[in-house]
Copies of this chain bind each other. A is one copy, B any other.
């Protein structure tokens, strides 16, 4: 029996994928076949018959479905319901940071966080990987490999376990400890590599060539972006189809930013949202800011960032294969790319926990640090709604020990407690 709340997982619905196309050249590729990058070495984007979607689905029908990612089925690539894997991809909540906001003159409700740490495996990577693994299953894949800074590997391992698929994961040797361990706990083989994520990516390419594994690297297969797209779809509905003014997004590989922008365009084509779209802010760390440098220099592609370093492992991505898609979205939206220091992002994490009770991940802290700067500069104006993305639960990252001890057998001086 399936609980009513899981109806989206077992209900056959029409699908509308027509084809895929190269994000750079527009070259067309067939749907329902296994693909990696385009011939131009760039990400493939999935295209839909949006008129067909519009005829099959309206916002009222959507509103009556259970609140998970799979309710967007007509805008997703999975054809056969039997290929859906799931660990409970619920809508993530939007939490107001009213105490933090007040300090910089934001009115209640003007500073919001979408808390993606509530997804399976504790991060927004679940959105991309649930789609990638479901599609891999649909297209006959039995073993996947990927490089990761931690959370993506954890999500891949979890869904691969459920799909009965072999998973081989490569991560930098200073990846957050919890990530390395959860990947292995969920049945994957995990290797610590003396290098950065693109070094791991190189190993994945070699291994896939040697062993026939499917390469699940960020944007190297077409479906993670479709999963991440649901962040944009979900946001639109949560805001009553009137999107916030600015979105601050922690940007490593950028799949989510690209995916959200794609979602907004598809919703516009459906007539479900209007002309006004959010200004997209790509937030990076000062120690690894290839998008910021390219944005400032007016480049469409971003050169590799040498000696990348930041405590926010998730955005330590020296080079992104979807660079131009990120920069295009930032520019088209009248957004910007911003770099923040490790000190500022760490302070943002501390402040949010003590003031509003929400424990952000370091990358989430980076978005708050960027908002603080943009708000101080007047780039975020009074009355504007800003939405930050907290991409993972703060519980995955080391916290200092600020506890004290008390001996239950000794007299307590209660005035000193």
**Residues 174-198 (chain A) with a chain B CB within 8 angstroms:** 177-178, 180-187, 189-195
From A168, A210, A399, A406, name the one whose CB has the most chain B CB atoms within 10 angstroms.
Answer: A406
CA distance A395 to B159 in the complex (A): 16
In the bound complex, residues from chain B placing their C-beta under 8 Å from that of A271 are: none
A408 touching B202 in the complex, CB below 8 Å, given contacts A90-B91, A357-B159, A359-B121: yes
Check B412–A112 contact: CB distance below 8 A: no
Interface status of A54 (Cβ within 8 A of chain B): no
A400 to B403, CA, bound (A): 25
The answer for the CA separation of A132 and B109 in the assembled complex, in Å, is: 24
Contacts of A121 in B (CB 8 A): 359
A408 CB to closest chain B CB, in angstroms? 5
| Contact between chains at B353 and A407 (CB < 8 Å) | no
Listed residue (A170, A181, A407) with the most chain B CB atoms within 10 angstroms of its CB: A181
Q: Is the CB of B393 within 8 A of A161?
A: no
Inside 8 A of A356's CB, which chain B residues have their CB?
A: 161-162
What residues on B are CB-neighbors of A393 within 8 Å? 122, 393, 395
Contacts of A161 in B (CB 8 A): 353-357
A182 and B359 in contact (CB under 8 A), knowing A2-B109, A194-B407? yes
Please give, as numbers and ranges, the residues of chain B lying within 8 Å of A203 by CB-CB distance: 406, 408, 412
A350 CA / B186 CA spacing, docked (Å): 8
Contact pattern, A 119-144, Cβ under 8 Å of B = 1, otherwise 0? 11110000000000000000000000
CB distance from A377 to the nearest CB of B (A): 22
Q: Which residues of B contact A358 (CB under 8 A)?
A: 87, 120, 158
Residues 79 to 127 of chain A near chain B (Cβ within 8 Å)? 85-96, 99, 109-110, 112, 115, 118-122
Q: How extensive is the interface on chain A, given as a class?
A: 35 or more
Q: Are B3 and A112 in contact (CB under 8 A)?
A: yes
B94 with A3: CB separation less than 8 A: yes
Interface string of A265-284 (1 = CB under 8 A from B): 00000000000000000000
**CB proximity of A69 to chain B, nearest CB, Å:** 11
B90 lies within 8 A of A207 (CB): no
A92–B93 alpha-carbon span in the complex (Å): 11
In the complex the two chains form, is A184's CB within 8 Å of B403's CB? yes
Contacts of A160 in B (CB 8 A): 357
Question: How far apart are A71's CB and chain B's nearest CB, in angstroms?
Answer: 12
Q: Mark A389-417, 1 if CB is under 8 A from B, else 0.
A: 00001111001111111111100101101
Report whether B93 and A357 are in contact in the complex, using a CB–CB cutoff of 8 Å.
no
B181 A400 Cβ-Cβ under 8 A: yes
A199-B408 contact given A115-B88, A359-B121, A400-B181, CB 8 Å threshold? yes
Closest residue of chain B to A7, judged by CB?
B240
What is A's interface to B at a CB cutoff of 8 Å?
A: 1-6, 67-68, 85-96, 99, 109-110, 112, 115, 118-122, 157-162, 164, 168, 170, 173, 177-178, 180-187, 189-195, 199-200, 202-203, 206-207, 210-211, 237-240, 350, 353-359, 385, 393-396, 399-409, 412, 414-415, 417
For the complex of A and B, list the 5 residue pairs with the smallest distance between their C-beta atoms, beginning with the closest.
A88-B93, A184-B402, A158-B357, A210-B414, A4-B240
A-B contact pairs, 23 of them (CB 8 A): A3-B238, A5-B91, A86-B95, A87-B95, A88-B92, A88-B93, A118-B118, A120-B358, A122-B393, A162-B356, A168-B417, A178-B399, A180-B403, A183-B403, A185-B402, A191-B417, A192-B405, A193-B406, A194-B407, A200-B408, A206-B414, A207-B417, A393-B393
14 new A-B contacts, CB < 8 A, other than A181-B399, A183-B403, A187-B357, are A4-B240, A87-B357, A88-B115, A90-B90, A90-B91, A120-B358, A170-B406, A181-B403, A194-B405, A194-B409, A199-B408, A210-B414, A210-B415, A211-B417
